[in-house]
Amino acid sequence: MSSSRFVLFALCALSSTLIAAPTFTRVGTLPGGSAAYGNGVSSSGPAVVGWSHTTPGTNARAFYWTPTTGMINLGVFPGGPQSFGAAVSGNGLVAVGEANSSAGLRAFRWTAQSGMQSIGALPGGNHSKATAVNHEGSVIVGESIGPTGQFRAFRWTDSTGMIDLGLLPGGTASYAYGVSSDGSVIVGSTTFGFIEEQRASIWRNGGVEQLPALLGQQRATAVSVSADGLFVVGRSDGPSGQRAVRWNAGTLSVQDLGLASGGTYAEGYTISGDGAIVCAQGNSLRDGRLGLIWHQSIGMRDVNDFLIDRGVNLAGWLLKSCSVSVDGRSLTGWGYYNGRAEVWYASIDPFCDLAQFTGHPSGAALFAGEQVTLTSAATSSGAVTYRWKKDGVNLFNSSVYAGVTTPMLTISPTDPTQSGSYTLAVTNACGMALSNPAVVVVRCRADFNDDGSVDFFDYLDFVGAFSQQLQSADMNGDSEIDFFDYLDFVARLSVGC
C-alpha cells in the first residue's frame, strides 16, 4: 500500500467489523510545537511519519514516531529551513518526504542508521518530492521537475537512481502518488493543457495507461494502490461533483464509492493492502472537511462516528484525517484536540467481511392453503448459519414454515396472519448480514369481498358473483362455475378462511 502525496490529508480506513474496540493514543507534537500532522503508518512496530512545528510559528520538521521512541525530529538539509514527512515503508524502517536545501527542494529517504539523505532530482531539475515508498523501503516514487521545466513522475531505487516515468500521450506533466508493495506498480496522474486537467495514470510493465473517470465526468486522479497493484483509489471530477472512486486495474473498471451521510463530495486517498478498505476525505453532517472511511458492507462514513460507534472515547477530538497500514491493524492521522492540531494513533483488530448477498428473496401474493418458497443466496469466506425472520423475529420450523435455517424458506400459510416482511439473516464470524425484505401477502378465499373480515356479506357477494357466472366465483380453480364451487366456498366460510 502507498501513502498520498497530499501530506496534510492522507485519510483513514479500517474494518467494517471489529473484534474488539480500538486503542487510541494521543501522539501530540514535537516538543514546543503548536501543530502536527500524521500522514503514514507502518504495519510493523508501528511507526508513524508526518510533520510538526517545533515552536509556535516556526518552520516545519518531519518526524518519525513509535510507541517506544516517541516523536523524533528528522531535521533538515544544510541550508534548508524545513522538512515534511510524507510516508513510511510497510516494515517501518524507512521514512520519505521532502526537505528544503541550499540547492532547492529535495526528496529525502531517512533511516535510523543513515539519517536524512537526499535522493536527488531528475537531470536538469532542482526540485523533487517523495510521496510514497514500497514495503521494504527500496522503491520511492514522487515528482521532480525535469529538463523541460515540467513535473515528471519518478521511480527511485539505490541502484538505478531517479528515473523519469513519462506521461500519457499528449500530456504536459505527470505525478506519482502511490506504489505497490513490491514497487512494480505506480499510480498518479497526467495533466493536459494550460488548465492542467488531470487524467488518472498507472505505470506498469514498462508503460503507462489511463484509468477511466466515472461516466459523464472528465477528470480523475489515482492516489494509492493495493499491495498487489490490483486495486487503485483516487477521485473523479465532473459536473456531478467530486467522488471517491476505486479502480480494478485488471479490468480497468471504476466504482463510485458514494458519500457520507449528509455529504456532498468525497476524495479517495489511501487503500488497505488487500484493497477492501478505502480512506477518503470529504464532508458529512459535521461541518468542514473530515476523514471518511469506506467498506462495501457499510458504505462511506465519517471516521469520527465510525470510531465512536466502536467504543473509542474521542472527547475533545475532531479527527480530520487518518491513514491505514498495509495489514489494516494500525491507523494514524491528525485532528483537532481541544482546538490544536495534533497527531493520533490507533491500533485495531483485523477486519473481516460480512457475507455478501448474490440473490435476494422476492415477494409473493397467495391465498391461504397455497404454498410459496422464498430463495436467497450469499457468499462468505468462512462458515455461515442461516435464519429466516418475519417482521424481524426469528422463525421456527412448523406446519406453516419449513427450511427456516436454510437459504430456502417454504411457507404454507393458513390465514392472513402469515402476511409480513420476510428476510434471511446470514451470519459468519464477522457478524450478521440481512437480505432485502420480501413482502408476502396472504389472502383468505372466504373473505370474498377482501375487506379483512369473513362474514355474511362475503356470502352475499359470492352468491351474486356465482349467479352471474363471474370468474371470481371459480373457487376450486377448475375453470367451471358450478355447484362444486358453491360447496367449496361454503366449506371455507364455515372454517373462517
Q: Does domain 23-347 have CATH number 2.120.10.30?
A: yes
Look up residue 210 and give its amino acid: Q
pLDDT score at 443: 86
Backbone angles phi, psi at 461, to 5 degrees: -65, -40
Beta carbons within 8 Å of 374's beta carbon, 6+ residues apart: 361, 362, 364, 388, 408, 409, 411, 422, 424, 438, 440
What is the rounded distance in angstroms from the CA atom of residue 141 to the CA atom of residue 103? 20
CA distance 150 to 125: 9
Mean pLDDT of the chain: 90
Within 10 A of 354 (CB to CB), how many other CB atoms are there? 23
Strand 140-145 versus strand 36-41 pairing type: unpaired
Return the percentage of the chain with pLDDT > 70, whole number: 95
Q: Is the dihedral of CA 10, 13, 19, 21 positive or negative?
A: positive
What pLDDT was estimated at residue 12?
Answer: 34
What cell does 441 get? Answer: 401477502
What are the pLDDT digits (tens) for 312-345?
Answer: 899 999 999 988 888 878 888 999 999 999 999 9
Residue 76, all three cell numbers = 533538515
pLDDT (tens place) for every residue of the chain, 497 residues total = 444 333 333 333 333 344 456 789 999 999 999 999 999 999 877 999 999 998 876 789 999 999 999 999 999 999 899 999 999 999 999 999 999 998 899 999 999 999 999 999 999 888 999 999 999 999 999 999 988 889 999 999 999 999 999 999 999 999 999 999 999 999 999 999 877 799 999 999 999 999 999 998 989 999 999 999 999 999 999 887 899 999 999 999 999 999 999 999 999 999 999 998 898 999 998 878 999 988 887 889 998 888 887 788 999 999 999 888 888 788 889 999 999 999 999 887 766 677 889 999 999 998 888 899 999 999 987 789 999 999 999 999 999 999 999 999 999 998 889 999 999 999 887 778 899 999 999 988 878 888 878 888 888 888 888 889 998 888 887 888 998 888 888 888 887 77
Predicted confidence at residue 27, as pLDDT, reads 97
356-442 — its CATH code?
Answer: 2.60.40.10
Centroid of chain to Cα 210 = 22
Task: Count other C-beta atoms under 10 Å from residue 22's C-beta.
Answer: 19
| 481 vs 330: CA distance, rounded Å | 74
Tell me, what amino acid is at 368?
Answer: A
- What pLDDT is attached to residue 195? 75
Report DSSP state, residue 445.
Answer: T
Locate cell 492540531: which residue?
341
Q: How far is CA 369 from the centre of its chain?
A: 46
Residue type, 161: G
Distances from the Cα of 128 to the Cα of 4, 87, 101, 116, 152, angstroms: 15, 15, 11, 15, 9
Helix (H) / strand (E) element for 495: namely helix 483-495
Cβ(227)–Cβ(181) below 8 Å: yes
Look at the chain and count its residues: 497
Q: Decide the pairing of beta strands 364-367 and 438-443.
A: parallel
**How confident is the model at residue 19, as a pLDDT?**
44
pLDDT at site 352: 66
**Integer angstrom CA distances of residue 484 from 458, 487, 496:** 17, 5, 18
- Per-residue model confidence (pLDDT) at position 4: 36
Look at residue 351 and give its three-state secondary structure. coil
